[in-house]
Structure 1
Amino acid sequence: MSEVINSHALLRKIERIEKELEDLRTMLLKMVVENLSAGDEIDRETLKAFERDLKDMIEGKVEVLSADETIKILSEKVGG
């Protein structure tokens, strides 16, 4: 039995999931920073790297699998 895949609906859902994942990553990083106890120390290099990564996530610069690539992979899995 062959199922029809609505690529536009799938694309919208993937884009929404990607956005939610970025939001969750940002929240997790913020929680890690907030939960550092006063006795915990972080070196400047690590802090700068963390800040840079967080900024990239917020600005959407994080390299992720595109929706088109995801659809292609899913189509290959479903079709073959």
Structure 2
Amino acid sequence: NDPETSSTFDNQYYRNLLAHKGLFQTDSALVEDDRTRKIVELLASDEESFFERWSESFVKMSVMGVRVGEQGEIRRSCSAVN
């Protein structure tokens, strides 16, 4: 989400990244890394491409399923296996 269009689903987040208005260090890393900057630039400049890529990602995430029981774990620390 972004503070400028917080009630609208759009690509403003990516435009903010290019304007160096990322909230977290990981946001800034997307612009600083040549491998991801091109994607940020595309999504910032082409809202239709943003919507297409978002919908593709949403479908992939929705079919992944939830791990339950012995299939997964809730970590006490995200950086280490329990």
Q: Which has the higher helix share?
A: 1
- Give the TM-score taking structure 2 as reference length: 0.31
The answer to which structure, 1 or 2, has the higher relative contact order (CA under 8 A, 6+ apart) is 1
Structure of higher CA gyration radius? 1
- Give the TM-score taking structure 1 as reference length: 0.32
